[in-house]
Every structure is written in structure tokens, then in C-alpha cells.
Amino acid sequence: MGRLVGLSGEAEAGQVPAQPGERADAIVDCAIYLDGIRQPSTGDYRAALAQARRQRGAFVWLGLHAPGEQQMAGIAEAFDLHELAVEDVISAGQRPKLEQFGDVHFLVMRAARYVEHQELTEHSEVVETGQIMLFIGPDFVISVRHGEACRLKPVREHLEARPELLKQGPWAVAYGVLDHVVDLFVEAADGISQDVDLIEESVFARDSSGRMQRIYQLKRELVEFKRAVLPLQRPLQLLIGDTPEISKELRKYFRDVQDHLARVVDQVGGFDDLLISIMQARLAQVTVDQNNDMRKVAAWASIAAVWTAIAGIYGMNFDFMPETHWKYGYPMVLTVMLGLSFAIYRMLRRSGWL
């Protein structure tokens, strides 16, 4: 099942210097941007922040991957981050939300990506989830990634290739990350759609082999996907409607992300309803198959009852019974048994019991 996984320290870009007592592999990248153009820097986030604050239109983007408590304490001190938000960053596993601490916004979102698999089984992992957290200040943005579901290197490369967008400041980075997360949602929804189609085909095929465990596993993975997709609607609405720091031009991009998210939400609702219908249909098939099996058992039992009844009567060994001393009595009784059995068999075949 999808889960928060992969807290390894693999960097998305060249590793940058860390402060004493900090994990170097937790700092993925630290860059200064001036008018949308990346500026040379040493990678020291304290020096980068001081440099950005001396230049109008400059900001720092610090990328982190699963930072520890000691490292976040140093970063919180340098960027003046609220302790409650820092606790959420360390513990991870938070529900998507948007909070404001002074002039710093704290955005939490769950990322999800589709896991390719050749065949869906009762143990297949369909969706892998992780978590992305953003601190967005007037002259800095800090991105924190937990898990491998959403790497942010493509976001940085995409934004650096569009300096006119990155010129909008830290909120342009927030848009880029949100857009990337929702794009992964769209890809995951397309992959789940194919799995649902395959499950539906297997259940309603003539030689149905759809196993309930496979349907239930896909249902569990869909629930994990919903936990990432549905709660993100509220923070995105707040960003568009109640965040004056976002420029009018940049607000258009956030609305585009909201449209894509709304489409995924509709798809998830459809998948949920369809899987419930498939489960009910499969249960109905199992019930019908069991009834058919019971009818066949009862039909063969009725045929066997003819032989049992006649053999039981003649097995009482009375002296005066029909044809007990007749030369052809035994073959005649066998013939009667076979004839009655054949007649009952034909009758049961016509009625659909056999």
C-alpha cells in the first residue's frame, strides 16, 4: 500500500556545505535568485539570506530532504520560523494545510505518484506517497521533501528556464511545486484508471477470474491516493482567495493548478463509485456461483436417491417381494434404475439445474 517511504539522503542537485552538526545530505540545494536569474553563491543558507536581503527583488530557495531536528533548529533560527511549523516538518505525516505565522506562510501537501507494475495482485503497490512542505517568506522559500514520491529537481530546472515567471518571487516557486505535485496526481489518476478498467474486464469476462483480493487492494490504494488529493483543495482555495502576497498575474497560474486538481478529484470520486460497484458485482457473482453449485449437488443427489430408494427396499430381504425369484428380476431392476435416472437427468437439464 502507498505510504511515506524512502527517507534516504540522495541529493537532487550538488550537495552544499552544511553548518556544524548538520547532515550535509539533507541540504539538497541553496540558491539566490535575482530578477528570476540564479546568482553565484557558496551554498551557505545564512550567507545567501543575508545577500538576498541586501538586493531588491532577490530571494533564497533552500531545498531540504528529510532534515533532522538539529538541522531544522539552525534553519529555523536563521529564517525566523515558528516552532510549531518546525515540529510539523520534523514529524512529517501531516494533513495538507495552509498556515500563516507572521509574514511567513507554511504550506503542507501530500505528494503521490503511480507505481508501474506488470500485473495487479493482492500485494501490488499502486500509489507511492510522500510529503512536501513549503515555508514561503518575503525573501525566501524553503522546500522540505519527505519520501521519493515527488522530487523537486525538475521543478527547479523548469522554473530556472522561465526567468520571467521566477521573477515573481517565492510564490512562483510555490506555484511550480504545486503544479508538479498536481501533475503527478494526473498521471497517477490515469494509471489507476487503467487498473480499474482491467479489474472490470476480469470481473465481467465470460471466464471470470476476478479475485476479490485484487479489487480490495486497489480500493486500499485508492483510499491512500484520496488522502493526498482531496485535502489539498482547501489550501489551494485559500491561496487563490485570501493571499494578497500573490500577484494578480501569478494568481492565474494557481487557478490553472486548481482546475487540474478539480479534474483529479472528479476522477477519484468516479473510481471510488466504480470499484464499489465492481465489488458488489463480484460478490453477486460469487453468490450466484454458489447457488449454481448447490443446485448441481441437489440435482445429482436426487438422481442418486432413485438408486438408494430401490436398493433400500430390496435390501430389506422380505420373502414375498416382486420378482425376487424371477430369473430376469435383477437386470429388470437395474434397467428401471437407469431409466428413472436418465428421465430425471433430462428433466433437470431442461430446467437448468444441470
Confidence at residue 340, expressed as pLDDT on a 0 to 100 scale: 85
Confidence at residue 14, expressed as pLDDT on a 0 to 100 scale: 42
Q: Which residues pair with 29 in a beta bridge?
A: 63
* Residue 253, in any domain of the structure: yes
- Domain total of the chain: 2
Confidence at residue 209, expressed as pLDDT on a 0 to 100 scale: 57
**DSSP E strand boundaries for 82-126:** 97-101, 104-114
The domain boundary residue, chosen from 268, 285, 302: 285
* Residue 2, in any domain of the structure: no
Examine the domain organization and report whether 295 and 208 are in the same domain: no
Examine the domain organization and report whether 38 and 110 are in the same domain: yes
CA–CA distance, 149 with 177 (Å, rounded to integer): 13
Write out residues in the chain with pLDDT < 70, as ranges.
1-25, 205-210, 320, 322-324
Domain range for 159 is: 24-285
Examine the domain organization and report whether 191 and 320 are in the same domain: no
The domain boundary residue, chosen from 227, 256, 285: 285
* Residue 67, in any domain of the structure: yes
Domain CATH code at residue 321: 1.20.58
Query: Using an 8 Å Cβ cutoff, are 106 and 99 in contact?
Result: yes
CA–CA distance, 225 with 231 (Å, rounded to integer): 11
Confidence at residue 78, expressed as pLDDT on a 0 to 100 scale: 94
Examine the domain organization and report whether 185 and 146 are in the same domain: yes
Confidence at residue 24, expressed as pLDDT on a 0 to 100 scale: 53
* Residue 6, in any domain of the structure: no
Domain CATH code at residue 66: 3.30.460.20
CA–CA distance, 111 with 150 (Å, rounded to integer): 6
CA gyration radius, the chain: 34
Examine the domain organization and report whether 128 and 53 are in the same domain: yes
Give first-to-last CA distance, the chain, whole Å: 43
Examine the domain organization and report whether 202 and 329 are in the same domain: no
Residues 263-310 have pLDDT tens digits of 999 999 999 888 888 888 877 777 777 777 788 888 888 888 888 888
Phi, psi of 211 (to 5 degrees): -90, 135
* Residue 267, in any domain of the structure: yes
Q: What is residue 62's DSSP assignment?
A: E
The domain boundary residue, chosen from 261, 285, 309: 285
Confidence at residue 206, expressed as pLDDT on a 0 to 100 scale: 61
Confidence at residue 25, expressed as pLDDT on a 0 to 100 scale: 66
Confidence at residue 311, expressed as pLDDT on a 0 to 100 scale: 80
Query: Using an 8 Å Cβ cutoff, are 47 and 41 in contact?
Result: yes
Examine the domain organization and report whether 94 and 117 are in the same domain: yes
Examine the domain organization and report whether 47 and 166 are in the same domain: yes
Examine the domain organization and report whether 231 and 303 are in the same domain: no
Examine the domain organization and report whether 72 and 105 are in the same domain: yes
Confidence at residue 3, expressed as pLDDT on a 0 to 100 scale: 41
* Residue 119, in any domain of the structure: yes
Phi, psi of 136 (to 5 degrees): -120, 110
Angle at which helix 248-314 crosses helix 212-229, to 10 degrees, equals 160
What amino acid occupies position 317?
N
Examine the domain organization and report whether 44 and 160 are in the same domain: yes
Examine the domain organization and report whether 315 and 218 are in the same domain: no
Residue with cell 504545486: 178
